[in-house]
Every structure is written in C-alpha cells, then in structure tokens.
Amino acid sequence: MTVHNLYIFDRNGNCLFYNEWNRKKQAGISKEEEFKLMYGMLFSIRSFVSKMSPLDMKEGFLSFQTSKYRLHYYETPSGLKFVMNTDLSVTNARDTLQHIYSNLYVEYIVKNPVCVLGHSLDSELFSSRLDAFIRALPYYSPRAA
C-alpha cells in the first residue's frame, strides 16, 4: 500500500510541483519531458473520454489503472490538476487529492502573498506539510527498497 508520486499542473500545462516517495522506475526521459508527456497524456485522455462517453458527464475522467499502478486525477474548476500514482490497492484517492487542494494548496500557496500563482511552488511549508500528510495517509507505507 503506497503512494509513488504526485504532480500538480496548472491550467497551461506547467508542472508546478512534483514529488516522489516510492518510485521504482524512472521514465527514461528528462523530468521536463516527463511532465510534458504526463500533461499531454491527461489532456488527451480527457478529450478522449468526453467524446467516447455515452452519457453527459459531470466529473469526467477519474482514474486509470494498469497491471502495476493506478493513477488518480483531480481537477479543480480553475484548471489546476492534481495527479497521484499509487499502487493498485488504493481505489479512491479523490478525497485525498481534494484535501490536498483545499487544505494544503489553498492554505499555504494561494494565501501566501509571496507565492506567485502560475510559477513553481517553492514554499517549504507547503512541501513539508504535504510530505507529512502523504506519510500519514492510511494507505502509505514506506516499502523496504
């Protein structure tokens, strides 16, 4: 039961924040390219889902899973995208991501007069609180490497 990594993207596709906890395999491309690929994949999935969907959707794309991991997605109405990769045992991390947005991002970034929205989040308080929150999650357990 573990969280692999977390990305935060803004509405223009810039990666504002990235952190990893238990990642076993790197993508084989530079971090910048990985962020662009991740954002591009999510953008395409959202467009794919809106065309494919047999009924009108309210929330849209929620998550996908492969044989080894599960990607959870949460988008705020302002276009901010929270993406978390966990292992397969975590079925619903939407509340977690919503909590990260409302209790961590809004509190420590939006309400911070020094932080410029749209740029990389470099608030140490945010990073440490987020790290503590993730480690405190019931489904997080640091695996023996």
Considering only 8, 10, 75, 85, the residue that binds another protein (CB under 8 A) is 85
Binding mask 24-63 for another protein (x = CB under 8 A): xx-xx-----x--xx--x--xx--xxxxxxxxxxxxxxxx
- Is 23 a binder of another protein (CB under 8 A)? yes
> Which residue, 98 or 103, is less far from another protein as judged by CB?
98
**CA distance linking residue 145 with residue 75, whole number of Å:** 32
Least CB distance to another protein at residue 138 (A): 20
Number of residues located near another protein, criterion CB under 8 A: 40
Q: Per residue in 28-52, is it b (16+ CB within 10 Å) or e — as a string?
A: eeeeeebbeebbeebeeeeeeeeee
Least CB distance to another protein at residue 29 (A): 8
CA 95 to chain centre: 12
Strands of the 70-75 sheet, one edge to the other: 15-20, 3-9, 81-86, 70-75
- Is 127 a binder of another protein (CB under 8 A)? no
Strand partners of residue 145:
none
Binding residues for another protein, per CB under 8 A?
A: 4-5, 20, 22-25, 27-28, 34, 37-38, 41, 44-45, 48-69, 71, 85, 87
